[in-house]
Amino acid sequence: MPQLTLLCLPYSGASAMVYSRWRRKLPQWLTLQPVELPGRGARYGESLHTDMRRLALQLAHEQKATLKTPYALFGHSMGALLACEMAHALRALGCPEPVVLFASGTAAPTLRADYDRGFAQPRSDAELIEQLRTLNGTSEEILANEELMSLTLPVLRADFLLCGRFTPIQRPLLKCPVHVLGGKADRATTEQLIGWSQETLGSFSVDMLAGGHFFIHEQEARVLRVIKDQLEVHHRRHSVAAVG
């Protein structure tokens, strides 16, 4: 049976392993492939990046070697920007575009001036911890753990710079469908989410889910259902083509 590969890009400060639990909750025809970034997880010894396009191109080169099936890209927050840049980088390397680009929990590339205000310069440890507290995704027990924070904060600092120093550029638009997920209580506005429609000549759709910035965990079953529903049509199409 033809497979679809789902490449998942992590949010700021996280390892791609935040998606690993999805593997057992997706249909068999959908292969989950978390994309680990340099400087975390199994790639902890590698240098952290602060240039979004250079990172996307490096990841595209790495993925191209094994990307043999139709694929989709999913990214949450910083990962959404990175997923979009990877789609462009893979296309530039001669790969087909993703069957769907999922952009979750962040403002569109062209509407980030207010969203990323103040993130272009390195943040202090105290500022980073306060930002984590604001996002409601980290317990106070973890925030008070100095050893754990000493490992997390350098990654988070670099990731905030990745977003804060990102600037959109003129280039041919993507042609693939773009589907956006947003949290109803998140800080990304409706206008900032709909702005993702300007990234493609293909179809565009939005799902708003209950919850704040980490709605992808709070509403995990709903998020996975959206992904499955969006990709099922492409899976059927490839299955029919394979039989024909």
Q: Return the active site residues.
A: 77
What whole-number distance in Å separates Cα of residue 147 and Cα of residue 28?
Answer: 39
What whole-number distance in Å separates Cα of residue 81 and Cα of residue 107?
Answer: 9
- What amino acid occupies position 18? V
What whole-number distance in Å separates Cα of residue 126 and Cα of residue 161?
Answer: 16
What whole-number distance in Å separates Cα of residue 110 and Cα of residue 167?
Answer: 8
CA angle 168, 203, 105 (to 5 degrees): 55
55 token code pair: 């990172």
Q: Looking at the DSSP assignment, which residues form a beta bridge with residue 31? A: 5
φ/ψ region of 178 (left if φ > 0, alpha if ψ in -120 to 50, else beta) reads beta
113 token code pair: 């001036």
What whole-number distance in Å separates Cα of residue 34 and Cα of residue 24?
Answer: 13
Beta strands in 81-226 (DSSP E): 101-104, 178-183, 204-209
CA-nearest of 96, 25, 110, 15 to 63 is 96
What whole-number distance in Å separates Cα of residue 205 and Cα of residue 192?
Answer: 14
